[in-house]
Amino acid sequence: MISSAIFGIENNGVLAITALITGVALVALALWIAKLISPRSFNPQKGEAYECGIPTRGESMSQFKVGYYLFAILFLMFDVETVFLFPWAVRMRELGVDGLISIAVFFGILVLGLVYAWRKGALEWK
């Protein structure tokens, strides 16, 4: 009786909030304990470069252009699309026309994103 009242369908919000508060409290407790028991001594060697050879001179944060990041973002976008398309393809017959319309809208939005990236020149190597 008590377990059905606590874990019933009508109390899913309470259960979710309790789980969220418990999770945040456990993470905060772990961070606090780590800060409490960590050593606090500062050594000048801690500020030096680690295993990279020559110490930096001048501006250490120089900006440089990386050409692969945009391709990586586009790859991730279409990789996630594949992750969402696979379950739909497995249950395609059970979902019917509503499922087909939903996946067509999803696929259409992704195609529009690809066309936008293509027209902006994101797929051209410069």
- The tens digit of pLDDT for each residue in 92-112 reads 889 889 989 999 999 999 899
Radius of gyration of the chain (CA): 26
- Does the pLDDT value for residue 116 go beyond 80? yes
Quick one: 20 exposed, middle or buried, by C-beta within 10 A (0-12, 13-18, 19+)? Answer: exposed
Rounded to two decimals, the pTM is 0.46
Amino acid symbol at 17: I
- The tens digit of pLDDT for each residue in 20-32 reads 999 999 999 999 9
